[in-house]
Structure 1
Amino acid sequence: MTVAETFDRVAAQYDNVGVDFFTPLAAALVTAAQPHPGDRVLDAGCGRGAALLAAAGAVGPEGHVTGIDFAPGMVERTAAATASLPQVTVQWGDAQAPAFPDESFDLITAALVLFFLPDPPAALTAYRKLLRPGGRLAFSSFAAHDPRYPAALRLLSTFAPAPAARPQIDPLFETPDSLRAATTAAGFARTTVTEVSVESTFDNAERLVTWIGSHMGSQVVEAVPVDRRPAATEALAASLEWPLTTTTRINITVADA
């Protein structure tokens, strides 16, 4: 299953299962991006609109935010949720190569998106062309998962006849230095990388499995046969202490055009 197909399948649940994760991280990204009133913003891979809504509030009615996503389910739901905001447009689009004229935007945001793309360095180059002089790119990527999260994925995978393939992450996301080098190679003048973290609390194993199944982790959950998922959840419940609070570290990269 492709990335777009996966996110299309989970669009109804994404960032909508009562767990703090995507929304606070998107807020931190937009705060770092510092959108100004009147700015024209592109939110690449807008999902259910966490970063898009924060940016729309910052640019105000005199600005505009365009959200694009490759998953039709995300586009449909986010367009409906923002229909009352005249400064917002949500449409289908490819975050790898957004189809807009050069120098269309003052700011581009991409919240936990770039590492899913087939060619992240090429995407950075495309974003640089879309920015006006003095514009900014702000994107987030993982610095480190709470170790209990990948351990949970590994445990769930033991109940699958054929565990889901692990995605290959471009080495540009490995360190702050590699992030800065990649944006410099794409033509950006100055880059800052800041680390933030978010805590997420799960009351029980059922809530954790539900959350994993609401985003890209759904590939792991869906690889487990339905009749084996109760046993997998029970094993997860026995392997951790509850309630469980995880800490995820995120790099926020802001690059000046």
Structure 2
Amino acid sequence: MNAEAIGGVFSAAHQEFTGWSARLWRPLGEITTAVARPAPGERVLDACCGAGASAIPAALAVGPGGVVHGIDVAEGLLEHGRREATALGLDRLRFVNADVLDWRDDSPYDLVQCAYGVFFFPDMDAGGRRLAGLLRPGGRFVVTTWLRDGMARLVPIGVAAAAPERPELAEHLGGANPSERVDTAEKVRAWLSSLGLREIRVEQVQFTQPLHPDDAWPFFLSAAMRGFVEGLPPDAVDRVRARFERGLREAGIDTLDGSSLIGMGRLPG
């Protein structure tokens, strides 16, 4: 999907997405920010910020003298972030509806962080270099990705559930998921190094919770998998839901595994 299509899917998913914020996105955003450690007065870019799960903690950390720009293509999610930032009095946090790969600002950033966004870039390497290029010399680039055999286990089940209604998805059955490029500590370390970063470290975070059957479909609709059912008639959506829930049962998946990797590197200089 291109940036416009991704923005449309996640804007449509805003209700389900933010319904998962307290259970999933905000805790992981807080952990991302804890590893990134934005300091008072710093300038921060939060790429693919969604509803602000890591942008809001970053704005709290940089204090009144700092600046945080949260950039995302999903206006529906940004609206949630703006409302929360306003309620918290975070006027140093600015949410912008834009493709972050086209984003430019007058001054470089001390920190660029991107939680669960790099595998949506049309070219992950070019996108990573673009973000790293927005740093000042010595600035930090932080990326959060899904750990292997965790969240990615759901995607093939979602594809298989939707493929009978969307034959074009059949080519993705058994295919590689872009997140597989950065789903181990070694891969994240190598990828950050390929961007020209140094002093690289990678933290592994274990994060699991029960996945009740009634919560499985709202999670499907909160994620990129929603794009599989956009535009389908209600009866077709019901069939996809039944297949997805059956697929989870057959795979023995009753846990949502959000275990993640958080990698950080510095731009030389």
Normalising by structure 2, we get a TM-score of 0.81
2-structure distance, mates of 1:18, 1:185: 32
Q: How far apart in 1 are the matches of 2:198 and 2:102?
A: 21
* Aligned partner of residue 14 in structure 2, secondary structure: coil
Matched, 1:251 2:261: yes
Tell me how far apart the structure 1 counterparts of residues 90 and 231 of structure 2 sit (CA, whole Å): 39
**Partner of 2:259: helix, strand, or coil?**
strand
Which of 96, 99, 124 is matched with 2:101 structurally? Answer: 96
What is aligned with 1:156? 161
Alignment of 1:200 onto 2:203: no
Matched, 1:41 2:44: yes
Equivalent AA in structure 1 for residue 261 of structure 2:
N
Q: Any idea what the Cα deviations from partners look like across 1:191-214, whole Å, max 9, x if unmatched?
A: 11222122133322x321111101
In 2, the alpha carbon distance for the partners of 1:222 and 1:30 equals: 33
**Secondary structure of 2:264's aligned partner:** strand
- More helix, by proportion: 2
Q: CA deviation at 1:59?
A: 1.3
Question: What does the per-residue CA deviation read over 1:143-171, in whole Å, with 9 as the maximum and x for residues that have no partner?
Answer: 22437624642552255242647485177
Gaps of 5+ in 1: none
Moved more, 45-54 or 69-78: 69-78
Gap change, CA 1:32 and 1:119, over 3 Å in 2: same
Q: Aligned-pair distance for 1:131?
A: 1.3
SS in 2 for 1:122: helix
Kindly report which structure 2 residues correspond to 1:56-135, keeping only aligned pairs within 5 A, or say none: 56-83=59-86, 84-101=89-106, 104-135=108-139
SS at match of 2:203: strand
**Once superposed, what is the RMSD of the aligned Cα atoms?**
2.9
| Offset from partner CA, 1:91-128 (integer Å, 9 cap, x none) | 12222242124x52111111100110112212222222
The AA in structure 1 aligned to 2:259 is R
Q: Is the 8 A contact 1:79 1:91 kept in 2?
A: no
Deviation string, structure 1 residues 57-100 (Cα, Å, up to 9, x no partner): 11122212111112232333322332331121111222224212
Unaligned 5+ residue runs, structure 2?
none
Question: Aligned equivalents of 1:65 and 1:254: distance in 2?
Answer: 18
Q: Is the 8 A contact 1:96 1:122 kept in 2?
A: no
Equivalent residue of 1:177, what SS? helix
Q: Aligned equivalents of 1:109 and 1:40: distance in 2?
A: 11
Amino acid at match of 1:31: A
Residues 1:252 and 1:228: Cα distance change in structure 2 (over 3 Å): same
Aligned counterparts of 1:161 and 1:135: Cα–Cα separation in 2: 44
Matched-pair contact (CA < 8 Å) for 1:67–1:88: yes
Mean Cα deviation higher: 178-187 or 40-49: 178-187
Q: Which segment drifts farther, 74-83 or 117-126?
A: 74-83
Question: Among residues 220, 223, 228, which one is paired with 1:220 in the alignment?
Answer: 228
User: What secondary structure sits across from 2:33 in the alignment?
Assistant: helix
How many residues align structurally? 255
> Do the aligned partners of 1:39 and 1:59 also contact (CA within 8 Å) in 2?
yes
**Structure 2 residue 140 is the aligned partner of structure 1 residue 136:** yes
The one-letter amino acid of 2:215's match is R
Deviation of 1:172 after TM superposition, in Å, equals: 4.2
Contact 2:145 2:260 in 1 (8 A): yes
Check the 8 A contact 1:98/1:126 in 2, yes or no.
no
